[in-house]
A and B are shown apart, each in its own frame.
Chain A
């Protein structure tokens, strides 16, 4: 339950905030999956991000940290990267005012494509580069129930982009949790921010939550210098706006529908590899989800559409302007077939379309996946998950130059890949848990890598170059072996979490080479293969979830 304590944030200067968060205990568990009620029962966060089936956080067979609302509030962070950078496993790189790139286990770079970021299961990373614009994610910190951070590949559950890890942002329930909050903040560098969250119980079985927020700030002097050197003008002042409407409707005692509509915009100077872009983003989305508690198990289905407009396609001078639509439909069934055996089967279809420079690039992905959790003994659980993805690429329309190096037929490409996650969790004592995991993850090339259709200015050569991508680009394959140890420390109501891992990346790609990007027709650079050995240990969060203490002592060590 959340009570109406005033919240004060300090942000780079004077901060003024007032907020009222009130909660209702209404947890009659009519709907198929009531996270709040399950969390209250088991006295710890409940997640679906490890196996797709509901699980207690302490029993997840992956390296996962869950950041609760209490921890977000106590952190004083004012944005999502600020919340995440407190984790020992996460690297946050802030390149310009407003731009932040987040990575797990290294390989961070501007427009990093190795992290899968979801908002209530809907992808909010952008498919153009596979990157995440954190300012454009239409969620306010006050409406987040928890952020689930998975380290290591999780393609077998989530599909492409879950290469280095997964960040799944879970908001409060529009029907069960009453969140009302107003926040205003002011700081140095012309920083003004505000947000409002309002929840309404429209009927006994219908609830809705409206949230909106945004900020304005001044570009830093360093950003102005960069922009002056590149564009001949000062940097755009960073700003963002977002609005989200969530609704939940209990159709029957065992059937529930969820609806989400969002819109967001953001603008800032983006440092991309060694180049700069300052085009405005605009995103919107629609999502409908159904879940049902039926005889065989927990059945869920959703369909959503994400739209991204980057720059103005009608503006011929707008380098990189594009429209991207991603449509995803998925269905899954989680069933406990026997006391020790839980199965999950799922299917997903994804359509991705990129309109740019008069051409249309797109691909379809067909996926089937399965998960089997075997509770071998009360202390030992073994989880096996596998997924098959088939991607079919296509292109139509014009090219930006007669010198473009590819024809539309060159884009008739496809690939199929298997991915898997194996995990064993052994509770050696009430306080100690050992985890052993092995995974094979797949990182599909982004739309930019497959086929941009842009003429770009290149001051270094005093002219322009064609940015074309490569339709034969191969996916990144990540192999990961990991051993972890968790120990509850009751004296601090916390937990020690340590892990060692061995990770190998094949066909690792990067945008971090300007010469490769602008001097040739390939926007990405393949760095052959790389292997990492790592050690991580941290006191990540409270053990029981009853009195969390946001203590983070980390010693991440990566040896490449």
Chain B
């Protein structure tokens, strides 16, 4: 008797687990996932990384934020500017159409603009601008120059192809300490 109850309970639990798994699979298939927001810690790391790029101005500099998905959140997160490492990054919203004529030297690519990566990279090449993003896929595809992750630890990844195409160079000590792909 006790064994029978036990067995039915176990079977019920298995069915419940199966139901939850199916519902979860449906959820992740049909509900668009929110893009991970760029955190203040990410922005600090981006600003510090800018300090190791040769030829960029120090102090307060304007950075282009490509308008589109994720731009609002990123601009809000940057507030009146992100200061770190002797550099203050002031966000300027720029439409993709005007990016190549913006004169920007630094472009931050928000998460969720995968479809625009090629166009952003083309504009960056034209401007000899550095593109930075927390979207590592952009770096791995060779379209963004610098990828920044801060969790669980700080990782900096540089696309040599993208850097070469945009004529971006880094301090040698920085190069030794980051991962180039």
Contacts and interface: CB of A to CB of B under 8 A. Distances in A.
**Co-assembled chains A and B:** yes
Interface of A: 25-29, 32-34, 37-38, 40-43, 46, 53-56, 58, 293-294, 297-298, 334-336, 339-340, 342, 375, 378, 430-431, 544
A55 B177 contact: yes
Q: Which 5 interchain pairs have the tightest Cβ spacing?
A: A28-B86, A339-B180, A41-B48, A298-B172, A430-B152
Contacts of B172: 32, 293-294, 297-298, 334-336
Contacts of B177: 38, 42, 46, 54-56
Contacts of A25: 85-86
Nearest to B160: A339
Contact of B58 (A28, A54, A297, A335): A28
A41 B85 contact: yes
Contact of A43 (B52, B87, B154): B154
B2 interface: no
Contacts of A430: 152-153
A173 B180 CA distance: 28
B175 interface: yes
Contact of B154 (A27, A41, A431): A41
B26 to A, nearest CB: 31
Contact of A54 (B45, B51, B84, B176): B176
Contacts of A46: 177
Nearest to B152: A430
B167 interface: no
A28 B51 contact: yes
Interface string B76-88: 0000000011110
B52 A37 contact: yes
B49 interface: yes
A375 B177 CA distance: 11
7 contacts: A27-B85, A28-B86, A32-B173, A37-B85, A37-B86, A40-B48, A334-B172
Contact of B176 (A27, A42, A298, A378): A298
Interface string B139-154: 0000000000010111
B171 A293 contact: yes
Nearest to B83: A25
A293 B169 CA distance: 12
A38 B171 CA distance: 11
Category for how many chain B residues contact A: 20 to 34
A47 to B, nearest CB: 11
A480 to B, nearest CB: 26
A440 B36 CA distance: 48
A27 B152 contact: no
B179 interface: yes
A58 B152 CA distance: 13
A375 B179 contact: yes
A340 B157 CA distance: 12
B20 interface: no
Given A25-B85, A335-B172, 17 more contacts: A27-B48, A27-B85, A37-B52, A37-B85, A38-B174, A38-B177, A40-B85, A41-B156, A42-B154, A46-B177, A54-B176, A297-B172, A297-B176, A298-B173, A336-B172, A339-B180, A430-B152
Contacts of A294: 172
A334 B176 CA distance: 8
B21 interface: no
A339 B86 contact: no
* Max chain A C-beta neighbours (<10 A), residue from B58, B171, B175, B179: B171
A74 B179 CA distance: 34
A43 B84 CA distance: 13
Contacts of B176: 53-55, 297-298, 334, 336, 342
A37 B181 contact: no
A294 B87 CA distance: 23
A34 B150 CA distance: 20
Contacts of A34: 173
A294 B173 CA distance: 11
Contacts of A339: 160, 179-181
Contact of B51 (A29, A32, A58, A297): A29
Nearest to A543: B153
Contacts of B156: 41
Contacts of B51: 27-29, 37, 41
A298 to B, nearest CB: 4
Contacts of B174: 29, 38
Nearest to A429: B152
A41 B146 CA distance: 14
B60 to A, nearest CB: 12
Nearest to B53: A29
A298 B172 CA distance: 6
Nearest to A344: B176
Nearest to B153: A430
B180 to A, nearest CB: 4
A33 B153 CA distance: 22
Nearest to A39: B48
B85 A28 contact: yes
Contacts of A43: 150, 153-154
Interface in B93-121: none
Contacts of B180: 336, 339-340
Contacts of B49: 41
Contact of B87 (A28, A55, A58, A335): A28
B132 to A, nearest CB: 13
A54 B85 contact: no
A25 B85 CA distance: 7
A165 to B, nearest CB: 24
B173 A33 contact: yes
Contacts of A29: 51-52, 85-86, 171, 174
Nearest to B175: A336
Contacts of A40: 48, 84-85
Nearest to B169: A295
Nearest to B45: A41
A378 B85 CA distance: 27
